[in-house]
Amino acid sequence: MPNEFEKQNKTDNDFAFHTCTTCGEEKPVSDFYKEARNIKGIRNTCKTCFIKARCTPENLAKSKVYNKKRREADPRMYLYYAAKNRAKKSGVPFTITLDDIFIPKTCPVFGVVLEHGKGGHQDNSPSLDRMHPKFGYVPGNVKVICDRANRIKKDATLEEIESLVRFLTSFKRINLGNRATNVQVNVSVALTKKEHNA
C-alpha cells in the first residue's frame, strides 16, 4: 500500500498507483503487467492475482494441452521461445525470427533422426545451438542439432573440444590385451607371495 507521502507526491511516471480489480488493493503500476489494449497501458489485475488465477490446476492442464498442440503444429515455436528466455536470463543478444530456425530431419553432428513432441528432452530432440555462444541468438549464428550434441558442446570452444578429442583418443590407443596380461601377472605374483608367507 502507498504511504501518504507517495500519494501526495505521486506523478504519472514516478508514483503512479492503480487499484487491482481482484484484490481491491491500491498498488504501484510496477505491480501490474503491461497491456497495450488497456487505456492505462497495464492490466486491471495485479501480478499476484493474475498469477494465482493462471496457476489453477484447470488452467495449467489447459496450458499444457495448448503448448503441446503448438509444438506439434510448428516445433520451431518451442525452440524460439525457449531460446528467447535463455537469452534474457544470460543477457545475450536475441534478434532471430522463426525464419532463422531450420529443423533438419537428422542431426548434422551425429546423424540421428530428430524427433520432437514426446515430452521432455530426449537425446535426439531438436535443440537450438549458438555456434559462437558469446554472440548470442543472432541470424547466422544458430543451428539446430540434437540435444545430446548440444549438451556435449555447451559453451566449449573449438580448442577445448579438440583437446577433449585428443585426450579420449589417447585411451583408444591403449592395448587392452597387454593390460589384461599385466593384471594377470600382478595377481599371480600377489598369490605367490601370499602362499610363501603362509
What pTM value is reported for the model? 0.57
Each residue's pLDDT tens digit, 38-92: 888 899 999 999 988 888 888 888 888 887 787 778 889 989 999 999 999 999 9
Mean pLDDT of 3-13: 48
Helix, coil or strand: residue 125: coil
Question: Per-residue pLDDT for 181 more than 90?
Answer: no
Q: Is 76 exposed, middle or buried (0-12, 13-18, 19+ CB in 10 A)?
A: buried
Q: What is the pLDDT of residue 120?
A: 66
Mean pLDDT of 153-157: 84
Q: What is the pLDDT of residue 180?
A: 46
**How close are the terminal C-alpha atoms of the chain, in Å?**
86
Q: What is the pLDDT of residue 7?
A: 45
The number of helix segments (H) and strand segments (E) in the chain equals 7, 6
Each residue's pLDDT tens digit, 115-151: 876 666 789 999 999 998 889 999 999 999 999 999 9
Distance CA 150, CA 127 (A): 7
Each residue's pLDDT tens digit, 95-117: 999 999 999 999 999 999 998 76
What are residue 75's phi and psi, to 5 degrees? Answer: -55, -20
Mean pLDDT of 9-21: 67
Q: What is the pLDDT of residue 157?
A: 83
Set out the domains of the chain in order of their start, with CATH numbers.
Answer: 4-54 (3.30.60), 75-160 (3.30.40.220)
